[in-house]
């Protein structure tokens, strides 16, 4: 007879989808608040809804309110415990940066820091799939997209997480980003206006929620532009 | 060459029960340019005088932010002050990493004092030559502490350290009883007046002082120069005439810490110090 | 065999780590109610599928403001209680009027659980942490690998499957103490009927601004005379 004990894995996938779109003078970052998983290994591999989680981090000190000074936003999916640990490491590093330089880290700098932080755990990775959005030093929208071990690229838009397979092709079709192979390089930012981009994000999530069981409940959208930063919510299917 | 035979290292006692090296470190605090602090129920204000070493150089930074709820003003060896404020910053970060809540001010002060104390008991070390005024806000309200190179620390309603701080102390002692109920702006006003007391006739401008605030609903921050200048003008503090009382007080021995707070004359009038 | 780890490749170090639990407790349920937090857990602890211990307290106070409930490995829970006791002791030793609230303890626990999973040596528990401090109610949970969140009602183990649907239907912000206890008992009864490791001896703990009270152990009224319960193998040829 085989042994009747439970085994354990250091990882879980708590699902979740994130999207970020960069415009000429704005950036929209969005993620759903659903978290799914098996909270205890005693009842087998039945996965279920755990609760509502905010997964967009403005990399302030371990949370807190959005601030006008915020320059980057990270939306994450994957293993919640790793995501939280990653957010906390970045928040602490960002704080140290602010103490040393008397300013907020720029979004491209944060992008490099995130890559280094992920790669630092290359052989026991953070199971976290992130998009980082914000304004670059010229005030232009920027989006950086990552894999779990830190490879990253600056793009005009991106989607990560459980619903990415549904959303990415749709964004490809709608945003018609110029090929990164073109020479001379073309700007990757999307031609949409801010409100059009927000509507597009809402459509993406409403659709992804229809088919992806790991996405749903509520959508959190954070928009960053020259005027500042704001957050809004949209209800998604709860089933 | 030597002042006496008991001051060659920190761990040697004098027959009178004194540690001269530690006292020399405290002397270094008195040499540094002045820093003052005062608090109300909800706010703490720190201020310091910026002295330049030469006409050609800029001044050194003397007020540091440790976290959103804690800040520190230093007098003495600025280099030592930077090391200690870096330590405070990392303690704050570590605490909020573990607990996601701000480190209580009193605890940071004790940790800091313990760190200073170690240097008074190791033959191969030297005491920190810096005094720190720690301002902070936590669950139990606003706090102002003074950390001494000896490893002692005291909580104050208002205090001043550094060169010619006695004049500022005298000013604060005369008025401290009102501070608990003071508004933020009143604290700022008193801070600037107290700073002016240490200036020995020099005109108070925003370029020779730094002011910082922490309080309820207000993270610790250093006021920018424009804001400070506006305050100075609004309060009409600049006054070129030297303060009425001759600031010779700096040469007198400072009163016993802690007792100082009890000696202030009751503030029965609102008179600005130039009227006193 | 509890302590075997031969999966290290090429590393002959004989570090011993818990790879599976020995004695385990089953579900814990926690809810917010009008004045604070209520928590319920039965007192059974199983050795594999044997009900080995029947008077194990799985809900305990932590300091003045918090309450912890645990399912999973009992020895690990006792180790956690030991380190929390130490945490609270050191906190009290400052004697400065500051104290760790439920939010701080929950976060500390989360770091502890996540840290142990990073060492591939997990504490084999799901923990519920609730409390009240300065008028703020707090209820959260942590899993053995560090997954954590806050909610108005939480449950571990089977409770997650059997109790939370009931709680989603019936929980509301203004539950009185009596209604809260009734709701918890309803959940515990369902668990008692359907979870084989549950026993009919439970405790309910309450924490409010005033402090913690943990009830004496008591049993729920049950009714086993349903047809399917009385003759469960009817119609199953050859079974006994």
- What residue ranges define each of the domains in chain C, with the CATH number in brackets? 25-221 (3.60.20.10)
Residue B267's pLDDT is 37
Residue A70's pLDDT is 86
Residue ranges of domains in chain A: 17-39+46-230
Paired tokens of A218: 């509520």
Which structural domain range is residue B102 located in? 28-275
**A72 confidence band (pLDDT: 50, 70, 90):** very high
Judged against a pLDDT cut of 90, whether residue C227 lies above it is answered with: no
* CATH code of the region A17-39+46-230: 3.60.20.10
Q: What is the pTM of this model?
A: 0.88
Residue B66's pLDDT is 97
For residue B51, is it within any domain?
yes
- CATH no. for residue B210? 3.60.20.10
The mean-pLDDT minimum among A58-62, B211-215, C226-230 falls in A58-62
Judged against a pLDDT cut of 90, whether residue C111 lies above it is answered with: yes
> Which whole number is the average pLDDT over A231-236?
93
> Which whole number is the average pLDDT over C186-208?
96
Residue A50's pLDDT is 60
Give the SS3 label for residue A230. Answer: strand
Cα A86 to Cα A79: distance, rounded to the nearest angstrom? 11
Residue C237's pLDDT is 78
Give the one of B99, B110, B140 whose C-beta lies nearest to C100's C-beta. B99
Residue B144's pLDDT is 98
Residue B239's pLDDT is 57
Catalytic amino acids of C?
18
**A204 confidence band (pLDDT: 50, 70, 90):** very high
ipTM confidence score: 0.90
pLDDT, tens digit, 9 for 90 and up, residues B203-252: 999 999 999 999 999 999 999 999 999 999 998 776 544 444 444 444 44
For residue B184, is it within any domain?
yes
For residue B14, is it within any domain?
no
Nearest alpha-carbon partner for B179 in B164, B197, B193, B163: B193
Residues of B in contact with A62 (CB under 8 A): 96-97, 100
Q: How many domains does chain B have?
A: 1
Give the one of B65, B97, B100 whose C-beta lies nearest to A99's C-beta. B65
A134-165 residues labelled b (16+ CB within 10 A) or e (exposed): bbbeeebbbbbbbebebebebbbbbbbbbbbe
State whether C94 and B101 contact (CB < 8 Å): no
What string of DSSP letters covers B115-166?
HHHHTTS-TT-----EEEEEEEEETTEEEEEEE-TTS-EEE-SEEEESTTHH
Residue A2's pLDDT is 62
3-state helix, strand, coil in chain B (%, to 5): 35, 20, 40
- Chain C neighbours (≥3 Cβ pairs under 8 A) are A, B
pLDDT, tens digit, 9 for 90 and up, residues A99-156: 999 999 999 999 999 999 999 999 999 999 999 999 999 999 999 999 999 999 999 9
For residue B3, is it within any domain?
no
Residue B246's pLDDT is 41
Residue B268's pLDDT is 36
Residues of B in contact with A95 (CB under 8 A): 89, 93
User: In whole numbers, what is the pLDDT of chain A averaged over residues?
Assistant: 88
Nearest alpha-carbon partner for B161 in B138, B135, B141: B135
User: Which residue positions in chain B have pLDDT lower than 50?
Assistant: 240-276
Chain B residue set in contact with A, beta carbons under 8 Å: 65, 67-68, 89, 93, 96-97, 100
Distance between B56 CA and the closest CA of chain A, angstroms: 24
Residue B200's pLDDT is 83
Residues of A in contact with B96 (CB under 8 A): 61-62
User: Is A5 an interface residue toward C (CB < 8 Å)?
Assistant: yes
Residues of B in contact with A61 (CB under 8 A): 67-68, 96
> Backbone phi, then psi, for C133, in 5-degree steps?
-150, 135
> Which whole number is the average pLDDT over A48-55?
60
Contacting B residues, span 92-131, partner chain C, CB-CB under 8 Å: 97-101, 104, 106-107, 110
Residue B251's pLDDT is 43
pLDDT, tens digit, 9 for 90 and up, residues A211-221: 999 999 999 99
Which of C46, C147, C160 to substitute to test the interface with A, most A CBs within 10 Å?
A: C147
Residue A44's pLDDT is 47
Radius of gyration of chain B (CA): 18
**A177 confidence band (pLDDT: 50, 70, 90):** confident
């Amino acid at each position: 007879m085989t042994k009747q004990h439970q085994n354990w894995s250091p990882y879980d996938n708590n699902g979740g989808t994130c999207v970020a779109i960069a415009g000429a003078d704005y950036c929209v970052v969005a993620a759903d608040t659903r978290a799914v998983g098996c909270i205890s290994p005693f009842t087998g591999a039945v996965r279920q809804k755990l609760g509502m989680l905010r997964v967009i981090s403005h990399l302030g000190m371990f949370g807190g309110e959005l601030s006008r000074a915020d320059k980057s936003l990270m939306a994450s999916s994957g293993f919640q415990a790793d995501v939280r640990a990653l957010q906390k490491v970045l928040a602490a590093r960002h704080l140290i940066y602010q103490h040393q330089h008397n300013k907020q880290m720029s979004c491209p700098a944060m992008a490099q820091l995130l890559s280094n932080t992920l790669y630092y755990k290359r052989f026991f990775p953070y199971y976290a799939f992130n998009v980082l959005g914000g304004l670059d030093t010229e005030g232009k929208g920027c989006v950086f997209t990552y894999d779990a071990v830190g490879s990253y690229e600056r793009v005009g838009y991106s989607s990560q997480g459980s619903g990415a397979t549904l959303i990415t092709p749709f964004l490809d079709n709608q945003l018609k980003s110029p090929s990164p192979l073109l020479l001379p390089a073309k700007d990757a930012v999307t031609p949409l206006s801010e409100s059009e981009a927000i509507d597009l994000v809402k459509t993406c999530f409403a659709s992804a929620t229809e088919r992806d069981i790991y996405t749903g409940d509520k959508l959190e959208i954070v928009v960053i532009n020259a005027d500042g930063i704001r957050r809004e919510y949209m209800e998604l299917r709860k089933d | 060459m030597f002042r006496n035979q008991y001051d060659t290292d920190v761990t040697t006692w004098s027959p009178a029960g004194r540690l001269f090296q530690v006292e020399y470190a405290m002397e270094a605090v008195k040499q540094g340019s002045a820093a003052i602090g005062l608090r109300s129920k909800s706010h703490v204000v720190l201020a310091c005088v910026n002295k330049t070493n030469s006409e050609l150089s800029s001044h050194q930074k003397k007020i540091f932010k440790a976290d959103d709820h804690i800040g520190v003003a230093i007098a003495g060896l600025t280099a030592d002050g930077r090391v200690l404020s870096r330590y405070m910053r990392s303690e704050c970060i570590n605490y909020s990493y573990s607990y996601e809540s701000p480190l209580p001010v009193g605890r940071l002060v004790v940790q800091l004092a313990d760190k200073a104390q170690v240097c008074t008991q190791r033959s191969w070390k030297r005491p920190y030559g810096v005094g720190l005024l720690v301002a902070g806000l936590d669950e139990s309200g606003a706090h102002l502490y003074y950390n001494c190179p000896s490893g002692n620390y005291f909580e104050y309603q208002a205090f001043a350290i550094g060169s010619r701080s006695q004049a500022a102390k005298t000013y604060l002692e005369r008025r401290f009883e009102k501070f608990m109920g003071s508004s933020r702006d009143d604290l700022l006003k008193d801070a600037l007046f107290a700073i002016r007391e240490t200036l020995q006739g020099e005109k108070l401008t925003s370029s020779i002082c730094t002011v910082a605030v922490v309080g309820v609903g207000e993270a610790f921050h250093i006021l920018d120069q424009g804001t400070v200048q506006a305050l100075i003008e609004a309060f009409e503090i600049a006054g070129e005439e030297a303060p009425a009382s001759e600031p010779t007080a700096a040469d007198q021995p400072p009163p016993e810490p802690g007792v100082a707070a009890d000696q202030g004359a009751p503030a029965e009038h609102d008179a600005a110090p130039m009227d006193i | 065999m509890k302590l075997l780890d031969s999966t290290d490749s090429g590393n002959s170090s004989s570090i011993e780590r818990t790879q599976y639990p020995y004695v385990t407790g089953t579900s814990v349920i926690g809810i917010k109610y009008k004045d604070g937090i209520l928590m319920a857990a039965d007192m059974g602890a199983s050795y594999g599928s044997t009900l080995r211990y029947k008077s194990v307290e799985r809900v305990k106070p932590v300091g003045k403001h918090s309450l912890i409930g645990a399912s999973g490995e009992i020895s690990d829970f006792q180790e956690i209680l030991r380190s929390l006791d130490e945490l609270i002791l050191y906190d009290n030793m400052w004697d400065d009027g500051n104290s760790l609230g439920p939010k701080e303890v929950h976060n500390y626990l989360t770091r502890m659980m996540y840290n142990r999973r990073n060492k591939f040596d997990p504490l084999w528990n799901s923990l519920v942490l609730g409390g009240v401090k300065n008028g703020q109610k707090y209820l959260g949970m942590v899993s053995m690998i560090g997954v954590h969140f806050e909610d108005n009602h939480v449950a571990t183990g089977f409770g997650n499957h059997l109790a939370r649907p009931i709680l989603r239907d019936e929980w509301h912000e203004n539950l009185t103490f009596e209604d809260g206890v009734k709701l918890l008992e309803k959940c515990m009864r369902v668990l008692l009927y359907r979870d084989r490791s549950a026993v009919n001896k439970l405790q309910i703990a309450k924490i409010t601004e005033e402090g913690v009270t943990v009830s004496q152990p008591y049993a729920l009224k049950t009714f086993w005379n349903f047809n399917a319960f009385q003759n469960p193998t009817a119609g199953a040829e050859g079974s006994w």
